[in-house]
Amino acid sequence: MIGPNATTDTSVGQLSEQPLVIDRSEHGISRKQFSPNAIKVLYRLKEGGFDAYLVGGCIRDILLGQQPKDFDVVTNATPEQIKKLFRNCRLIGRRFRLAHIVFGREVIEVATMRGHHEAEPSKNQVSQSSEHGQLLRDNVFGSIEEDAERRDFSINALYYSINDFCIYDYANGINAIKAKQIELIGDPETRYREDPVRMLRAVRFATKLDMSIAPKTEKPISQLADLLDHIPPARLFEEVLKLFLNGKAEANFLMLRQYGLFKALFPALDRILDNSNDDFAEKFIVQMFRNTDKRINDEKKVTPAFIFAALLWLPLLKVSKKLQQQEQLSEYDAFAQAMNKVLSENAQHIAVPKRFTLGARDIWHIQQRLDKRAGQRAYRLTQQPRFKAAYDFLLLRVQAGEQQHNELADWWTSYLSKDINGQKELVKALGNQGGPSGRRRTRRRKKPAE
């Protein structure tokens, strides 16, 4: 989609003194490919006397022949000035103030052009860094040239102007797209220290866009992976969803493991994967992500509760077994205590909302009840809201190698495929199997009062 003349000698990932200007005839992008609401925002800002550009992922994706999910705008208007122009605007963010322009279910994100932290900020602009170099406050505004330098990757420093319909390339992003490389703008270690989440974004962009991470951008990742420990757990939850709910979960998982990033997200599981004597643990997680990718690419629903249930399943079993041995607890009590312990420890790294941890608990609980099928038990179990997810979880376990549950999985598959009469016959055929273990207690009848 990019014209043959749209090149420059500037090395990829480095800012040029003057942007490469790609006119309409060269880039071939039509305004029809943009969200109408994004165009409305651009023109409203222009009429208000401000400069405004579509920027980043939406331009990159269209150049790559993909359909953008979001359309982001950058402007020299401050958040407060943006809010005055749009009645449907809400300001969000502390680390960097953003404006969200709401059009029903679509939100156009508008950011003020960022500036350098070395400059003396005004009273309305705040910059703050941690001892590790991480930016805690980033509300320093600047010019479009400064904003381009503050962008993370060269492929995201592409600006589309409605004044002349040209694309302005400040970091040789066009050549990065042609070279199929993900490269940070500026010094990689400094940029990762500013925001360690960029390491996760590098992985996600590489798999999403079928690109490789450039050598200089790749080199510091493994040694800086521990910086993710300083990222708020709520923010890491959002990043995990982006990594594992985009149809590239398996590839992202393998690359996260390759660079040592997975241990910052799920340290307990990472230790199990490193120390497992067999390949079941790896097969279980890879199969889960493979199944997830297939469902997403088939446009089927995937709940984060299932993903977190799978990612914490092996740590759960390990802790449960340890509690049984050390505390002399019953299997049921050890399992219940292990759930609380594993979820509590995980929350220190990733803040999973309660609606998803409750879902994971239900999936785990049902695993213990799937072999109790006599009488009305099978029917009642299928009425549980999370039963289908729990059934899929059982199939996943068998797929990954738990052949001892093969017969149970086949029984439930057959049960779910039959009508009510067929289901009753299956339960009847169980005989004494599939019922509660141990002797059945009988109530003593009270003697009638004389």
Tokens, residue 251: 């590839």
Alpha helix positions (H), 180-224: 188-194, 197-208, 215-218, 221-224
CA distances, 330 to each of 116, 333, 338 (Å): 60, 5, 12
- Of 181, 105, 115, the C-alpha closest to 148 is 115
Contact 408, 371 (CB under 8 A): yes
70 is catalytic: yes
Distance (Å, rounded) from C-alpha 374 to C-alpha 329? 27
- Name the catalytic one among 152, 169, 195, 293: 152
Provide the 8-state DSSP code for 141: B
Q: What per-residue string of b and e applies to 152-167 under the rule 16 or more CB within 10 Å gives b? A: bbbbbbbbbbbeeebb
Provide the 8-state DSSP code for 166: -
Tokens, residue 348: 């220190």
Provide the 8-state DSSP code for 447: P
Tokens, residue 109: 């994100």
- Name the catalytic one among 61, 72, 169, 270: 72
Tokens, residue 309: 């249930």
Tokens, residue 173: 């992003």
Within 13 Å of residue 298, how many CA atoms lie on the same side as its CB? Answer: 9
- Name the catalytic one among 70, 226, 229, 333: 70
Contact 74, 113 (CB under 8 A): yes
Contact 285, 396 (CB under 8 A): no
- Secondary structure (DSSP) of 235-299: HHHHHHHHHHSSS-HHHHHHHHHHTT-HHHH-HHHHHHHHH-SSSHHHHHHHHHHHHHHHHHHTT
147 is catalytic: no
On the 0-12 / 13-18 / 19+ scale of CB atoms within 10 A, 402 is middle
The catalytic residue positions are: 70, 72, 152
